Amino acid sequence: MTKDAVVEILESGLVEHPAAVAWRKFAPGFVEPRSIVVLKRRGHSSVYRLEGAGLRGTAVIVKRCGRAAAEIERAVYADILPALPMTALHLYGCQIEDREREGNPPCWLFLEDAAGERYSTLVEEHRSIAGQWLGAMHASAARLYAPTGLPEVGPGHYLGKLRSVAEVIHRSFANPALHAPDFIELEAILVQFAVLESHWEEIAAGCDGMPRTLVHGDLATKNARVRSSRAGASLVVMDWETAGWGAPAIDLAQSVGSALSPDLAAYLSAVAAWWPDALSLIKMAEVGKIFRLIAAANWAVESLASPWVERCMRNLRIYRAAMADSIREAGWGN
């Protein structure tokens, strides 16, 4: 069994579980799972592993998410990755839970279990494999026509997120759950964001020279596995709901949060025939770190209006400290 962050393991009432019901409707010759492992359970998305419910007793990953996110993942798994020369998970299929519902009805995705070893940035081989895999993915996808349906994820996308986070922070000042130290922290983040926006042309220029290509957008260690075979070790990447098309700086982010931190030398060896030089690559990775921190803050502030702000504020403090390092390194102030 893959060593995931397990939320819960269910061993009774399995046939009636919504994930098993969805898989039974989709898959002919349904086999009752031995157990259902809850891997993720959030408001917008849930992920389950149905042990023994797949072909020849393999596990099946069943993911429930909004239709918009499901369409992005379906496009990546079914239309893009099979055309590229790298390992990828197999998508068995996708179905809408409620076809009569308007707007963004939930969908079910049915995927091959990634299995393999959990990715670790402390293992140099893992970072090297990630650099080679990512370079091959970016270089080969850049030669495709931009797929319809994938969002644009260039610098403008992250500027929009920056402004959105700032707006949420401004509104949150009326939340009685926040205390004086929280207000000080939030004000400091707003100052940082003002500095970033004043230098946004320079930030955007850091993406110059990069091709428009497939971007994962959330290359965290939890979203990668390293498989071993007779041919050697290979990387598989999952959870493509944040994917888009644009300059892939965010995928190169180094030493921030749980980012894969792919080895840049290995990446360069895979893309050198097309782009860029090593110095440009380092600058792009720095821009990617800024984008990743903005995206992380955008996730965190979703709960800033709630009565339970402790975890949100703890994460925002971490992101602010990391962003302060990036601002100093860029020479934009203290």
pLDDT value at residue 99? 64
Cα–Cα distance measured from residue 324 to residue 334, given in angstroms and rounded to the nearest whole number = 7
State if pTM tops 0.75: yes
Same fold, 8-112 and 118-153+190-330: no
pLDDT value at residue 10? 84
What top-level class would CATH report for the domain 118-153+190-330?
alpha beta
Per the CATH hierarchy, to which homologous superfamily does domain 8-112 belong? Answer: Phosphorylase Kinase; domain 1 (3.30.200.20)
pLDDT value at residue 3? 43
pLDDT value at residue 89? 95
What is the block-wise mean pLDDT of the chain (334 residues), using blocks of 10 residues? 62 91 89 92 87 90 93 94 92 84 83 93 96 94 84 95 98 96 97 97 89 94 92 92 95 92 94 74 93 96 94 96 95 80
| Structure tokens given for 300 | 């965190």
- CB-count exposure of residue 243 (10 Å: 0-12, 13-18, 19+): buried
Cα–Cα distance measured from residue 248 to residue 31, given in angstroms and rounded to the nearest whole number = 41
pLDDT value at residue 307? 95
Cα atoms in the 13 Å half-sphere on the side-chain side of 232: 7
Spell out the domain ranges in the chain. 8-112, 118-153+190-330
User: Which helix (H) or strand (E) covers residue 47, if one does?
Assistant: strand 45-51
- Counted residue by residue, the chain has a size of 334
